[in-house]
Structure 1
Amino acid sequence: MAGNLSEGDCTTLFPDLKTSHTDSYFLRIENWPFRASAKCHPLQITVNDSPWSPSINVPSDLKEHQSVTVTCSAFTPCPHSPPELTWNLQQDSLRQTEKNTDGTFTTKIQENITLSDTHDGYNIRCSARYPVIGGNKTAETEVTLSVSYAPKDTSASISPSGLVSAGSWVELSCSSRAKPPPNFTWFRISEHGATKVSMEQIYSFNVTEEEEYYCVATNYLGNQKSSVLLSFEDRQEFGLFLCAAVKILGLTILCSAVVIFECWFRLSNRSRKDPEEPDQVNRVMEIQAS
């Protein structure tokens, strides 16, 4: 007897229950020579060999950036020896034992978390360890979070990849990670602004000119876009040819300048030496005359 009978508290502890103790029990008060038994109001006690599994309470309709409270609770048959609760969230969660309206007890731990797209598919595990004679008995519960989030990692691509030719058939594809799955819209950018050209994930058409396109992935939580530029192959080749021609022309001009300078330098040296030649001829003639 753990309670104070004089105060109407008849709380009783069973220190070592066994499955064989499953039965109907009733309270008897003895105060000799008087005895009173509550046979009309028995208490049915069922003893199980396995412990009660804890329950995890998570709000419904979870969204990214939302702050929620996650609760793990376990039935507590004896508030004097409540179960120990642990989970894969913060380990410093405060344990509380509360009395329910029906007179039973529940032990719980809580944690506040701010949701993001990385929490979608995250498994929360909570275990309840009940102290028993000679050790503990443990039960575990697991729930998987389903978190909605706006489009992420949106990417636009072109097939065939690289440069395209005028009049060729191309396929623009858009991908994105979102929950719920997004809707896709393609836009073409022109001098008049952006024009909607398709509301499909894949947009196929014949190329007529170089243009920029972008796709927008949208769900009810937000949107994200990604762009792609169509470049013509012939224009690119012309640019490469022009670049090579400029390089060749530059080398030609440089070589010509070197040759012209060399010729000018030689002629300049020769012109400085020519005035001395008549004097030498005159000296030879004077020597021969003498």
Structure 2
Amino acid sequence: GGDFKFWEAECFKIDPANKKIHCRSNMGTNLDGNGEFLVDYDYLVVAVGARSNTFNTPGVTENCHFLKEVEDAQKIRRSVMDCFEKASLPYLNEEERKKNLHFVVVGGGPTGVEFAAELHDFVTEDLSKLYPSIQHLVKISLIEAADHILTMFDKRITNFAEDKFGRDGIDVKTGYKVVKVSKDAITMQNPATGDITVPYGMAVWSTGIGTRPFVVDFMKQIGQANRRVLATDEWLRVRECDDVYAVGDCATINQRRVMVSNIICYVFLLVL
């Protein structure tokens, strides 16, 4: 077999014209002191996934947790424990304890809903035994801009989830759009109530995924600037770019219509 090499580094630019990728490592520096280097390729596979989509909402990147990487899960667990420890301090009043124990999840899709449910179970089944005196002050809020959570599923699933959260004491706020996140408060808008600001102890942002910046730049170079992700054919070859393949959340497959037509014709003949 051929040689296999591994470098722990970040790709920050693809140069398809010269078949090179620009990389940067934080493990050390080169002679220029920036840790950057070039890698030549014959064939390139882009499989970098996606990043959390903040919709450019002010304060999200600086103050919210995300649900994308293993490191995110570790940070969230530490943050939950820190919130309980802060709320246990003897000099805090009840309002300050409630603020520290208010956990906000933004995004009512499958990931946000599952996280809110898991957090509820973690609090009621585990942390309630470690912090029995403040467990009753915990509040979990799920904020969704649409009229319901889990809108991509059947209405029966949506209704069941909303009813279950209601029974569990999880506050589901639908029709609210988050417009700003500060260090200790979230501002959201609702057509009926206008802007409201809610204090919190920990916030988790789960509103879908977006394209990584260097992939956006690559798409502009190959004439795909108007797309959300890289377009490939049924063989995962990136369209308008030779010798580059893409797979995963950073790409989508554009199937040829002729394949669907052939399948329909074949089924029609079988029926006859």
TM-score normalised by the chain length of structure 2:
0.20
Q: Which has the higher contact order (CA 8 A, sep 6+)?
A: 2
Quick check: which one's strand share is greater?
1
Structure showing greater radius of gyration is 1
Quick check: which one's helix share is greater?
2
TM-score normalised by the chain length of structure 1:
0.19
